[in-house]
Amino acid sequence: MKNLKRTIWGIVLVIAAVILALNSFGLINFDLFFDGWWTLFIIIPSFVGLIQDRNKSGSVFGLCIGILLLLSAQEIISWDMIWKIAFPLVIAIVGLKMIFSSFKKDKTDRIIKEIKKEGKNLQQGTAVFCGTEMDFDNVVFEGADLTAVFGGIDCDLRNAIIDRDCVIKVCCAFGGIDILVPDNVKIVTNTTSVFGGVEVIKNNNSSATHTIYIEGLCTFGGVDIK
C-alpha cells in the first residue's frame, strides 16, 4: 500500500512534467495553475486514502471538501453553498462512522473494563512538541493510551509479552505515532482520520491468538503500525 501511494504521486508528477514540456514547445496551451489548482493537494491525498486506508471516513470527508472547494474556485458553486453542504456532510459521515464502528467499540470497551477490574491501567504516552520512546521489552503489555501533538511517539512492542487482546488508544494531531508490533498478533484498526490516516505496514498474522485494537483520532497526523 505504501508503494501504491508513491506510485500515484509519481504518476501525478510525470503528468505535470509532460504538460509543462508540451506547453514550453507550444504544442498545447494548458494552464497548469488553473483556478483552484491548490485543491489537488487535498483531493489527491484523500483519493489515495480512499484506496489505501481501512478507515475511509476521513478520506471521504477530505475528498468531498476538496471537490467542493474546487467547484467554488471555478465559480460553479458559491461559498454559501459549500457551508450548506459541508455541515450535513460532516454529520452524515460521523453518523455512518458510529454505525459501522459500534461492534469494534463494544469489544475494546470490554477489554478496557476487564483491565480496570484487575486494578491495572493503560500505559500513558504523551509527546507535545517533542519526541517520546516507549520500550516494552520483556514487559507484560496490557494496553496504551498515546497522544502526539506536534510531536512523535515510538512505541516498541516487538519484544513485549502479549498474552491477551489489547487496546491502544491514539490521538494524533500534527504529529506521528509509530507502533512496532510482534509477528504473532493481529491488528484491527478503528480510527477516525481527518487529513491524516493510519497505515498498517505489517501484514496481519492469520494464525495469531491475540489481537491489538487500534482506536482513536488522527487529525493532520498519522499512525504507522509496522
**Cell numbers for 31:** 494552464
- In this prediction, residue 54 carries a pLDDT of 55
Please check the confidence at residue 62 and state whether its pLDDT lies above 60: yes
**Cell numbers for 94:** 460521523
Looking at this protein, which amino acid is placed at residue 171?
C
Q: Could you tell me the residue ranges of all domains in the chain?
A: 2-94, 102-225
Rg (CA), the chain: 21
Which three-class secondary structure string do you get for the chain?
CHHHHHHHHHHHHHHHHHHHHHHHCCCCCCCCCCCCHHHHHHHHHHHHHHHHCCCCHHHHHHHHHHHHHHHHHCCCCCHHHHHHHHHHHHHHHHHHHHHHHHHHHHHHHHHHHHHHHCCCCCEEEEEECCEEEEECCCCECCEEEEEEECCEEEEECCCCECCCCEEEEEEEECCEEEEECCCCEEEEEEEEEECCEEEECCCCCCCCCEEEEEEEEEECCEEEEC
Average pLDDT, integer, range 12-20 = 81
| Cα 18 from Cα 82, distance rounded (Å) | 33
- Rounded to 5 degrees, φ, ψ at 177 are -130, 125
Q: Quick check: 61 and 218 in contact, CB under 8 A?
A: no
| Cα 57 from Cα 62, distance rounded (Å) | 9
Looking at this protein, which amino acid is placed at residue 203?
N
Span 155-174, pLDDT tens digits: 999 999 988 888 998 888 88
Please check the confidence at residue 149 and state whether its pLDDT lies above 60: yes
What pLDDT band is residue 3 in, cutting at 50, 70 and 90? low
Of 147 and 31, the one with more pLDDT: 147
